[in-house]
Amino acid sequence: MFAGSKRFPNGLTHYFTICTKPNSYNLRSFKKIAVDSDRGISDAKSIRFTGRRLGHTQLQPVGESQSVESPRIQHRPNTQFYPYPYPYPYPWENSLDIYYYHLMSTQSAAPTAETGEIPAPSGKLIKADSIAAKFRSDIEQTIRERTSSAGRKPKLVGILATDSKPSESYAEFTQKTCDSIGVDFVLKRVGGALVTKEGDQEIRGVNGEGVEEAIIEANEDSNIDGIMVYYPIFGGLQDHYLQQVVSPFKDVEGLHSKFHFHLYHNVRFIRPKTLLSSSPFGSISPSSVAAANTKSIQQDDTPPPGTVKSIIPCTPLAIVKCLEYLGVYNTILSYGDRAYGKTITVINRSEVVGRPLAALLANDGARVFSVDIDSIQEYTKRPTSNTNAGPRRLYHPRHVVHPCSNTLEECLALSDVVISAVPSVNYKVKTANLKDGCVCVNISSEKNFEKEVRDKASLYLPSVGKVTIMMLLRNLMRLCQYQDILREENSQASVASV
């Protein structure tokens, strides 16, 4: 670990100093690390090398009569902290090169001479930017092609109907992303988001007022390709009603009941014209659609002839893409079963994120514990027992929900992945309950995990917002494809009828 370092006489325990605070050269931030010279410095495994050299330090051996708590460590007079590379050759005897290292554990600074215990390394913090960038270039290319063929940019309308600060911030972020990627974004303010002036007085509207009319107007505008509404507005059933008012041909968020039905029934490919029918399957029976999808997903994700991929709610889809990026999904396995062998806990069973996410993961092969305030359910498409005669089924066509008697602590101890979406500043997933080496994903606007989560988690993703926006724009381009297919089919039908 220390290039050009010199060893001291064997049999003595020596001490050297390292800086334990980033960007700090204050000597009070130094800590003493014990190293047995018989094994050189290889035992200092509690320290992570970053490759940044700070300087050179003169060390003195510690005699047997000296206190281990106060070893003689002397810095060379007038020694400066030099940037890398330090000039060669080294002019001092019995000295060690001092690098910048980061302690991996706050509980134990280093292996001790008495116990030889080495603290476990902390997990890695993952930023959503790198995941979003993976999809951005493909989306930009699709947008350019669409703009060239249609003669205009894809148009997305956002409807803001409350004075909610998080909704306002999300709308501004959407505007900024769309502007940079080539989408024409228009923010329509109604209700509590609309401020009018009467003389010197500003008057704010009532939250939710005019939102349904704004949705219907956008549905009827042929120049608008997608609609997103910033929820919550009223909450509960009223918001669910508004989600059904949005045309499924313009629902970039994938919140329409038709898309949820497809997700829950593991229907991955659809014919766009079925969205016009009162039945999610149109004139095709549910069993035949499920069978066709099951057969297709065992091979790859290429839609069968005459079909396209169904829209998936953008936040659950973003989480799946994040898990794929983090290696949770096994790409060697068949499409539609790549989460097989993984146990995942999803905390919060809301109809917007938690429940569809649990179903999506289970349909991809995972065993999922869906945790809500009053119950825990298990989602899986693997049969729990073989009660039927004949060969055992590998899996059901879609996930099945079972009641679960496990406690949250027992679920966490079994889980390879923990996803939390609790909208409360006071809720925290206890780090002590996590499985060693698990992956933790926070999708709440609040921090649902404790600060020391990486003491247990191997990977920690604190937010997915930037990936969600990419999936929303991906859905927008897919809806443009739906509309193109529908227009072409209508045109062919018109010609055939003549």
> What's the one-letter identity of residue 304?
P
Contacts with 299 (C-beta within 8 Å, 6 or more apart), sequence order: 334, 335
Exactly one of 314, 322, 411, 480 is catalytic; name it.
Answer: 314
Number of other residues whose CB lies within 10 A of the CB of residue 13? 17
Long-range Cβ contact pairs of 445-450 (< 8 A, separation 24 or more): 445/166, 446/422, 448/347, 448/420, 448/421, 448/422, 449/420
Distance CA 82, CA 57 (A): 11
Identify whether the C-beta of residue 310 lies closer than 8 Å to the C-beta of residue 268: yes
Distance CA 248, CA 257 (A): 9
Distance CA 356, CA 76 (A): 63
Identify whether the C-beta of residue 49 lies closer than 8 Å to the C-beta of residue 1: yes
In order of 9, 102, 368, 482, the CA distances from 44 in angstroms are 18, 12, 39, 59
19 is catalytic: no
Question: What angle do helix axes 165-181 and 128-150 make, rounded to 10 degrees?
Answer: 60
Distance CA 113, CA 71 (A): 14
* Greatest C-alpha distance within the chain: 107
In order of 273, 279, 280, 412, the CA distances from 284 in angstroms are 12, 9, 9, 41
Element housing 229 (H / E): strand 226-229
In order of 161, 162, 170, 172, 245, the CA distances from 212 in angstroms are 10, 13, 20, 22, 7
**Alpha-carbon dihedral of residues 313, 314, 319, 324, nearest 10 degrees?**
100
**Degrees, nearest 5: CA angle 154-156-157:** 150
| 146: its two tokens | 């669409």
Distance CA 77, CA 80 (A): 9
Residue 419 — φ and ψ, nearest 5°?
-120, 125
Which residues belong to the active site? Answer: 314
